[in-house]
Amino acid sequence: MRLIVRDQNSKLLGIVAFEHGFVLFGKTDAQFKTMVKNLEQTGIPMLARKIEGKNITYAQETTACTNPTALFALREHLKSIGYSVDDYHEETVAELTKILESYEDCTEKDDLLKRISTMSYLQQTTMLQELKSQTI
């Protein structure tokens, strides 16, 4: 899984994956890249639920980047500090790309192909449904 991260003005900051540490794809905002690398070294802040008898408390802890849940912790942390974070679904992107490439006379095809990876999952699935309904 990958995360598409945008700032509050919807500017794309980067695409992040977790493969033995965080990996950034494509053009990445320099400040965002520095922040992710710092989190990789210091750990990712996250809320942890602790149950003691009948009491449930939440405390902020850090999770190491070696933890299998690190990408999920990063997603929640980025959301909590105001970033827009969407999951990137490779199979949806591949299906969209395949359908778009089959169109020969589409003037917007090249532009759409370039933008697929930066679209939210909702935008991708909506486009996929529309394209599938046109080919039936």
> Is the predicted pLDDT of residue 112 greater than 60, yes or no?
yes
At 28 the pLDDT is 84
pTM for the structure as a whole: 0.67
Exposure string over 32-61, b if 16+ CB within 10 A, otherwise e: beebbeebbeebbbbeeeeeeeeeeeeeee
pLDDT value for 46 = 87
pLDDT band at 135 (very low <50, low <70, confident <90, very high): low
Burial zone of 72 (CB within 10 Å; 0-12 exposed, 13-18 middle, 19+ buried): middle
